[in-house]
Amino acid sequence: MRNSTSTEVVAATTKAATAAIVTAATTEVERAGWLRALADVLDANAAELIEIADRESHLGVPRLTGEVARTSGQLRLFADVILEGSYLEVIIDHAEPDAAPPRPDLRRMLRAIGPVAVFAASNFPFAFSVLGGDTASALATGSPVIVKAHPGHEDLSARTAELAIGALRQAGAPDGTLGIVYGMDAGSQLVTDPRIAAASFTGSLRGGRALYDLAAARPAPIPFYGELGSLNPVVITAAAVETRGAELAAGLVGSFTLGVGQFCTKPGVVFVPAGVGAEGAGFEQLVVDALPAPASAPMLDERIASAFAAGMQVIETHASVRVLSAPGSVASGSGSAGPLVGSPRDRLPLVGSPLVGSTTVADLLANADTLLEERFGPFTLLVSYRDASEVIEAIAAIGGSLTGTVHAEATDDIAAITDALARTCGRVLFAGWPTGVSVAWSQNHGGPWPSTTASIHTSVGATAVRRFLRPFAFQSAPANLLPAALRDGNPLGIPRRVDGVLGRA
């Protein structure tokens, strides 16, 4: 396991701070070139990088191949975002001496915040790692990035960083635009280093909260954008179960077992109507019937496998939960983290077959501290409800989530349930399942605490750049000192609001 020294961390942040002076003054065309160069080098070396990633994460070549495509596509998207220009939020109000009080010439835009610490995630070794969305969105703004590599894929991180730094250098980016450090101590030091202006994190609630507190306790606190944990509630109506119960059960199983349940958007709590099922079969049985044949699958690392095993032991012994599994499954219990095989580098932590818990809203609320804890792995909890008021009360108890999902029929009145989900989730789906996050201009991947530390932002989609920008205004400034985005005549041809009117002219 790699561990950067304190001296190495200081060297990285010092280089990033020096580079920030240059990167903040670069044009969108220059930075778009950097992002496209990074996308190209990722695609060109995909085979080598996927081999390393599969060895370290056990996620499989098909999944990793798709993730590389998503990552390079995301880099190119942010190139398009900054060239389009509206991300700058330019507002110009010309002087109006006759206003009460008189108004000076005011010109406002967003500018790069400065060096950013990016903490890579365990479950996405490409899309939320060295060249993931946080790095792409920060570099797009002109903010240098120092990545704290995840210990679960350090070899991949090192090789990706090596290729990326070379590509940036060839594309004309200054030295220090991208850096990388390793180890827990290095991560803590990054967050407290006075040269770091913001930090982003995807991981556990416990780890993220500790870093969040460090960021807030600094003499000069900084923004900390943490994605920490999410239960992603699903509500299924009686009409939906009666109409397409088997289809919904299969969709749910496919979603909560995808990637061995190691997705931040995994549906962890599913509200189902009590005593309703297609042709007399309760929804619980439909889910059991849809579970895959018993088989163990490798998880990302020993720590995650052990935590999942411990969590399943709590669930299986809880008086308010009935555990469901496919016929022939062996309950996981303390033994779900199976034998480790191969060399220390390649050994595969194993888990048992997917499990489903069943309880009621009353028992869920009475045991919320235990039953509403996120279980990172192939487990979901079915919660039977009697009416919409029970669901709404339970949704409030769950707290913040990245997503909420409703499966209903056209005849259902779901307005109150939808409103309850909208109050506590960052994205509400009315078809499909929450696993799988499209990278698009309109995407929102965030939510109230504890899903994130900053519910007003997203970590996926075009507006992710907003996290690494700060507003800045010029008042009565000489024309020659204004950046091109704020000059009369709109030389960049970007969307701007001038004297209250939005346009490009």
3-state SS record for 64-91: HHHHHHHHHHHHHHHHHHHHHCHHHCCE
Distance of CA 142 to the CA centre of its chain: 21
Catalytic choice (28, 56, 227, 316): 227
The question of whether 409 is a catalytic residue gets the answer: no
* DSSP tag of 292: P
Residue 437, burial from CB neighbour count under 10 angstroms (0-12, 13-18, 19+)? buried
Half-sphere exposure of 150 (CA within 13 A, CB side): 28
Strand partners, 472: 109
The residues near 69 (Cβ < 8 Å, ≥ 6 apart) are 43
Strand-pairing partners, residue 428, are 404
DSSP count for the chain of H helices, then E strands:
15, 19
Quote the CA–CA distance of 257 and 292 in Å, as a whole number. 9
Longest dimension (CA), the chain: 82
Residue 152 carries which DSSP code? G
Residue that the structure tokens 């778009």 belong to = 32
Read off the amino acid at residue 55.
R
Active site residue 8: no
| Beta bridge partner(s), residue 425 | 401
Contacts of 419 (CB under 8 A, 6+ apart): none
Of 28, 67, 154, 264, the active-site residue reads: 264
**Contact present, 27 and 492 (Cβ < 8 Å):** no
Residues annotated as catalytic are: 227, 264
